[in-house]
Amino acid sequence: MRVIVSDKDQPVLDRQLGAFSAVDKTDANDFIERLDEMHALDVFRAYKKFTFDLMNIASGARVADVGCGTGEDVSSLADLVGPSGQAIGLDLSSAMIAEAQKRHADKGNVSFLQASSEGLGLPDNELDAIRADRVLIHVQNPEATLAEFIRVTRPGGRIVLSEPDMHGFWVASDDYGTTRLLVNEIANSCVMPYLPRDLWTMMRDHGLKDVRCSIQTLTSSDIKAVSKVLDLSLVVKMAVSGGLVSEERAAKWGDDLKVRAENDRFAAALSIVVVSGTKA
């Protein structure tokens, strides 16, 4: 299991991707802004809709979104369950729960709770469906989290997980050596960067039925969105200050991306591993 360290085992700055594991110890506004940036992207909306479909939500259902962040997906789930249903958002971060409440509490069929994914505080067999989106790579014990998701789901209920394969992120570049170093920095800031590759097996090991795995690929030609979501300028700064890459090489790498963007030749992609299963 990885803790939050860089390849050189130096603590990372608190705004890197991996700090989503402890948002309350950081400037939460920075993370809220980055989540808003992601939610505004069509490619994010598309794979999220795919995960909602996998939940098999009927009108009147009781569903949960764990690691709900600002609660945008809880609001979408509330629309799907309708007025007689209930959509519950849970998050470890009190700042995220406060923001979600501020944005969505006026909907009568949503509620938000501060809780860890490993101990949701819900009764056994309570939910028709549960999901977590881009959360388990930030969690210390994903096995305990999945066991908890199964506990709170009724027999026949659905469990859907979607996690980004951060080590598989790519961006077109003239210098793939530097790209690889920087992608490693970003991925290794997460507690469990390789977890997405084990989720399919993990679900079967936990006795779930109808287990399916698919890859949703997010592509982008928008350098601004990608830089913001991954906080690329900070990552480059850290890689330079940590001695991973020289200032000159980092500047050349960044200039290449800028020139590509100016000439409509910027290209990046990220795979989201989506797994789903039914409680026996």
Ligand X SMILES: C[S@@+](CC[C@H](N)C(=O)[O-])C[C@H]1O[C@@H](n2cnc3c(N)ncnc32)[C@H](O)[C@@H]1O
Q: Which residues bind ligand X (CB under 6 A)?
A: 20-21, 23, 35, 66-69, 73, 91-93, 96, 116-117, 133-135, 138-139
CB of 177 to ligand X, least distance (A): 28
Smallest CA-to-CA distance from 267 within 215, 223, 234, 228 is with 223
CB of 19 to ligand X, least distance (A): 9
Closer Cβ to ligand X, 202 or 250, answer by number: 202
Is the separation of the CB atoms in 155 and 129 below 8 Å?
Answer: no
CB of 129 to ligand X, least distance (A): 15
Strand (E) or helix (H) holding 232: helix 232-241
Please state, in angstroms and rounded to a whole number, the distance separating the CA atoms of residues 227 and 266.
12
Closer Cβ to ligand X, 173 or 189, answer by number: 189
Contacts of 251 (CB under 8 A, 6+ apart): none
CB of 179 to ligand X, least distance (A): 22
CB of 149 to ligand X, least distance (A): 11
CB of 116 to ligand X, least distance (A): 4
CB of 99 to ligand X, least distance (A): 9
Closer Cβ to ligand X, 90 or 211, answer by number: 90
Please state, in angstroms and rounded to a whole number, the distance separating the CA atoms of residues 158 and 170.
32
Closer Cβ to ligand X, 16 or 173, answer by number: 16
Residue 81 sits at the vertex; the CA angle it makes with 80 and 87, to the nearest 5 degrees, is: 105
Give, as one character, the DSSP assignment of residue 165: -
Please state, in angstroms and rounded to a whole number, the distance separating the CA atoms of residues 63 and 267.
36
Closer Cβ to ligand X, 35 or 238, answer by number: 35
Closer Cβ to ligand X, 138 or 279, answer by number: 138
Burial degree of 177 (CB within 10 A; 0-12, 13-18, 19+):
exposed
Burial degree of 25 (CB within 10 A; 0-12, 13-18, 19+):
exposed
Closer Cβ to ligand X, 138 or 260, answer by number: 138
Smallest CA-to-CA distance from 178 within 265, 228, 244 is with 244
159: left (phi over 0), alpha (psi -120 to 50) or beta: beta
